[in-house]
Amino acid sequence: MNRNKKNINLIEMEGIVTQCLSNGMFKIQLENGFQVIAHLSGKIRRNFIKILLGDKVIVELSPYDLARGRIIYRIGKSKN
């Protein structure tokens, strides 16, 4: 599901926003149960897409630091 060669080592996972922190940071509960801190990608900031508590998002994780990530897509409210 990687989009280009530059991001070949990144891991994409779905998760749910559990907490909104300051400066565009969020706590995300991933599908596998892990919790990560993620920031907004530049395209989401530029297009003023709002991420709310309970939204389902796609997060990119680096294999070097699996506790931090970048939100790259907002799917919407989760159905739980």
Question: pTM for the complete prediction?
Answer: 0.84
7-46: pLDDT as tens digits: 678 999 999 999 999 999 999 999 999 999 999 999 999 9
Confidence of residue 6 (pLDDT cuts 50, 70, 90): low
DSSP track, the chain? ---SGGGTT-EEEEEEEEEE-STTEEEEEETTS-EEEEEE-HHHHHTT----TTEEEEEEEETTEEEEEEEEEEEEE---
Confidence of residue 3 (pLDDT cuts 50, 70, 90): low
Domains of the chain, with CATH numbers? 5-77 (2.40.50.140)
Instruction: Write out the two tokens for 34.
Output: 């892990």
Quick one: pLDDT at residue 4? 56
63-77: pLDDT as tens digits: 999 999 999 999 987
